[in-house]
Structures are given as structure tokens and as C-alpha cells.
């Protein structure tokens, strides 16, 4: 960033990026696909740290306990990766993030740090019990995604920290998963409702169920009562009959140009049923 007023840096190593983040508290830019939309408000005149060339933030690693996705992994890289079935839903979400051009630039960590209520990566990663690894110049910490996002555009990320990786427990990575998104048109659209489902089978029945809904509250949520209601039921498409209005009653959707709160709640129930059937039929999902 030079000796004078630091304006822009594009490091290739994580240590350098973290040192710069600690020293200048810059605006962090990954793919820029969220930041540049709000460019007038957020960019400049302060320093910008472009982390898109930091090698350590890229790639997907498998260990005995976890599958770890580098925070700087783009949606296109994720979609192209050879991943087990628990990631089918996340891949389906990735394929619905904007267009191919956006997927080529936009990163997983960027989607989570931007913390939009409609971020498509959040519901599938909630069903996968994802944990974020955050690093600063002084160390690392880990936090479940469910705790990381605290509100509309609010997270627990501290100044000087980067989200370096997203970890998914291996146990869940081999479940069946799906993602469905309802928008006001077929392509390039913000979710009115989005649903991630993950089911673990035991003897033809539901041994574990995870259902998360996005765009229907300030922060995407898992529907615990529905998850309980699905347990032990036969893993057949009629599993969707178990979804009742009370299971979506706790959602807090807003009225906006894309839909009223009442429309969103009803649509969420329908979309959950569709996502369950999609999952059981072995499809990954996409646009509803």
C-alpha cells in the first residue's frame, strides 16, 4: 500500500493480507459483486484490500472430520468441484447466484459476509452446520454460521478479520440435499423465498432432517419443529405432507416490492414441500 495514503492493495499471500488488514482496516473486496453494487456508498476514499488473488483462500480440502471450502472460492469453482451429495443443495444455490459472470467473480465468503437476508448460500450452509474460520494478524477463531450472521447486513466479523474458510462436518456432507428458490422471474433474480433441505437416511427413514428458509426473516433460519416432525418418517415424496402452517408461523417476512409477508409465508410452505420432494427424488433443485 506504499508509504503515503494507502488506497489499494492486491496481495497474493494470506499473511500479507492479514497484516494489511490489521494495519489499515481497509474495505475488503473479494469478487466485488456485492460491494460494487453499493459502490457509491461503500467504496472510497478509504483503503481497499483486494483479496481475490490470495492463494490460501482458494480451494476445497477433505480431512477425516470435515470438508473445508476456502473463503475465496468462487461459486463457479464450487459448482465445478467434485463434492459429495450433501453439497448438491449448495451447488444448486450457486448456480442461481446471478449469472455465470457473477458466479465467476462472487465468492462464498462474500455471500456470507454481505449478510443479505436473501443470500442464497446461507440456507444450504445452515443445513450443513457450516462453521466459519476467521483469521486476523493475531490468530484464528471459529464460529457456526448460525451465530455469525446477526441481522440484515450484520455479522460478528471484527475489523481486521477475514473469513478464510467454511467447514462442513463430513458426517453431513454425505446426506441428500436440495435447494429451491422462488423469484419474480426465471433468471438473475433476488430470492423472494429460498429453501435448503438436508436429509440423512437410516433404513429408508429420516434419521436426521435439516430445513432452512432464507429471505423470510432478517436472518435465514432453520425450522426446528418441522425438522423434529420429519424424524422417523418414511423417505418417500409424501414426506412433504408433514409440513404444516405452524411450521412456518415463526418466519418474520417483510412486505416489499417482491411480495407481501403473507405471500412469502405461504410460498415458504409450498417451497419447503417442493424442496423435500426434490431432495427425495434425488434432484438438486434450482429455481422453483
Angle 110-114-118 from CA coordinates, rounded to 5°: 110
d(CA 236, CA 96): 26
In the bound complex, what is the minimum distance in angstroms from residue 10's beta carbon to ligand FAD? 13
Q: Binder to ligand FAD among 88, 96, 133, 274 (CB under 6 A)?
A: 96
Q: Hey, what long-range contacts does 98-102 have (CB within 8 A, 24 or more apart)?
A: 98/33, 98/188, 99/187, 99/188, 100/76, 102/31, 102/33, 102/75
Smaller CB separation from ligand FAD, 112 or 226: 112
Q: Binder to ligand FAD among 37, 140, 231, 249 (CB under 6 A)?
A: 37
For 87, phi then psi, to 5°, come to -95, 0
Q: Which stretch, 9-17, 22-30, 77-85, 221-229, contacts ligand FAD (CB under 6 A)?
A: 22-30
Note whether 138 and 158 are within 8 A (CB). Answer: no
Smaller CB separation from ligand FAD, 84 or 98: 98
In the bound complex, what is the minimum distance in angstroms from residue 193's beta carbon to ligand FAD? 13
Burial letters 102-123, b for 16+ CB under 10 A, else e: bbebbbbbbbbbbbbbbbbbbb
Which residue has the closest beta carbon to ligand FAD? 110
Residues 57-76 that bind ligand FAD (CB under 6 A): 71
Q: Is 79 a binder of ligand FAD (CB under 6 A)?
A: no
In the shown chain, the binding pattern of residues 176 to 195 toward ligand FAD, with x for contact by CB under 6 A and - for none, equals ------------x-------
Residues 104-133 that bind ligand FAD (CB under 6 A): 105-107, 109-111, 113-114, 119-120
Residue 287 CB coordination number (10 Å):
15
In the bound complex, what is the minimum distance in angstroms from residue 115's beta carbon to ligand FAD? 8
Q: Is 102 a binder of ligand FAD (CB under 6 A)?
A: yes
Smaller CB separation from ligand FAD, 97 or 268: 97
In the bound complex, what is the minimum distance in angstroms from residue 98's beta carbon to ligand FAD? 3
Q: Is 47 a binder of ligand FAD (CB under 6 A)?
A: no
d(CA 122, CA 176): 17
Cα diameter, the chain: 66
Q: Which stretch, 10-18, 98-106, 244-252, 262-270, contacts ligand FAD (CB under 6 A)?
A: 98-106
Q: Is 97 a binder of ligand FAD (CB under 6 A)?
A: yes
Smaller CB separation from ligand FAD, 66 or 182: 182
Residues 133-172 that bind ligand FAD (CB under 6 A): 157, 162-163
Angle 246-93-143 from CA coordinates, rounded to 5°: 75
List of residues contacting ligand FAD (CB under 6 A) = 27-35, 37, 51, 71, 96-98, 102, 105-107, 109-111, 113-114, 119-120, 157, 162-163, 188
Amino acid at each position: 500500500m506504499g508509504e503515503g495514503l494507502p488506497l489499494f492493495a492486491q496481495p497474493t499471500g494470506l499473511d500479507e493480507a492479514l497484516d494489511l488488514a490489521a494495519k489499515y482496516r481497509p474495505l475488503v473486496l473479494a469478487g466485488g459483486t456485492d460491494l460494487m453494487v453499493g459502490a457509491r456508498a461503500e467504496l472510497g476514499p478509504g483503503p481497499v484490500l483486494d483479496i481475490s488473488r490470495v492463494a490460501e483462500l482458494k480451494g476445497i480440502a477433505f480431512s477425516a472430520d470435515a470438508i473445508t471450502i476456502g473463503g475465496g472460492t468462487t461459486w463457479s469453482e464450487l459448482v465445478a468441484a467434485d463434492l459429495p451429495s450433501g453439497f448438491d443443495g449448495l451447488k444448486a444455490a450457486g448456480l442461481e447466484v446471478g449469472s455465470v459472470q457473477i458466479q465467476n467473480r462472487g465468492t462464498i465468503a462474500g455471500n456470507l459476509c454481505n449478510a443479505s437476508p436473501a443470500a442464497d448460500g446461507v440456507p444450504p450452509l445452515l443445513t450443513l452446520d457450516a462453521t466459519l474460520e476467521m483469521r486476523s494478524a493475531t490468530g484464528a477463531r471459529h464460529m457456526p454460521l448460525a451465530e455469525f450472521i446477526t441481522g440484515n447486513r450484520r455479522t460478528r466479523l471484527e475489523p481486521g478479520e477475514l473469513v478464510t474458510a467454511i467447514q462442513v462436518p463430513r458426517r453431513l456432507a454425505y446426506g441428500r440435499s436440495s435447494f429451491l428458490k422462488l423469484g419474480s422471474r426465471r433468471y438473475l433474480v433476488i430470492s423472494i423465498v429460498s429453501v435448503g433441505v438436508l436429509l440423512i437416511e437410516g433404513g429408508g427413514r429420516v434419521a436426521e432432517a435439516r430445513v432452512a428458509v432464507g429471505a423470510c426473516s432478517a436472518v435465514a433460519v432453520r425450522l426446528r419443529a418441522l425438522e423434529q416432525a420429519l424424524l422417523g418418517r418414511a423417505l418417500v415424496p409424501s414426506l412433504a405432507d408433514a409440513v404444516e402452517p405452524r411450521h412456518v408461523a415463526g418466519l418474520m417476512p417483510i412486505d416489499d416490492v417482491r411480495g407481501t409477508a403473507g405471500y412469502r409465508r405461504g410460498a415458504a410452505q409450498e417451497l419447503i414441500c417442493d424442496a423435500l420432494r426434490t431432495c427425495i427424488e434425488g434432484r438438486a433443485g434450482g429455481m422453483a
